[in-house]
Chain A
């Protein structure tokens, strides 16, 4: 149980275009999902916390108009990188908190590698 998928696993796009990344909890309902980005050889940086049916809470320094997050259902959250630029190239990872988990464990997706040309 507790499987999280992401789609696509990798994407290459041109500068100025928008890219949508999906995060799904496959076998559980996730009231809360998290989005992270990770640069090479670095740790995960939390971008935003998203709760189903409400607006996402963004970390300081993360532009909410650039990184649009939608959490429309208990099994799906999407991250849209708008007007992407080369500096947005990164590894984006989502996680989902299993509402059944006693200790608030969260489970991660496999990540999406975004390359902006």
Chain B
């Protein structure tokens, strides 16, 4: 079983600030997915990263996959209140989630 650690677990920032959250695994990911969950809803897929060293951008969100495919990061530029939510990562072949990062962006 792949053990996932996400950090930080909680993050509260002001609108306009930048932030980075991390996802680390005890083993290699074949591919990794990032999701965001808003309260009372199901998680929504943000991105899938596959290749070591890969960088993907989704508007203000930048996802990086570590060279060894055991870690990933999500960087948000100029955070907005709409970015508030629970950010989760999971390996595609082992759909167990870590604790996630609960982000609050204050206006």
Chain A residues within CB distance 8 Å of chain B: 4, 6, 34, 41-46, 49, 91, 93, 95, 103-111, 113
Contact = CB atoms under 8 A, between A and B. Distances in A.
Given A41-B102, A43-B98, A46-B96, A93 B42 contact: yes
22 contacts: A42-B99, A43-B86, A43-B88, A43-B98, A43-B100, A44-B43, A44-B88, A44-B97, A46-B97, A49-B95, A93-B42, A95-B43, A95-B95, A103-B31, A103-B92, A104-B93, A105-B92, A106-B45, A106-B95, A107-B45, A109-B42, A113-B40
Interface of B: 31, 33, 35, 37, 40-45, 48, 50, 86, 88, 92-93, 95-100, 102
Contacts of B86: 43
B104 to A, nearest CB: 12
Contacts of A110: 41-42
Contacts of A91: 40
A34 B95 contact: yes
Most buried by A among B35, B41, B43: B43
A43 B98 CA distance: 7
B50 A111 contact: no
B29 to A, nearest CB: 11
Contacts of B40: 91, 111, 113
Contacts of B99: 42-43
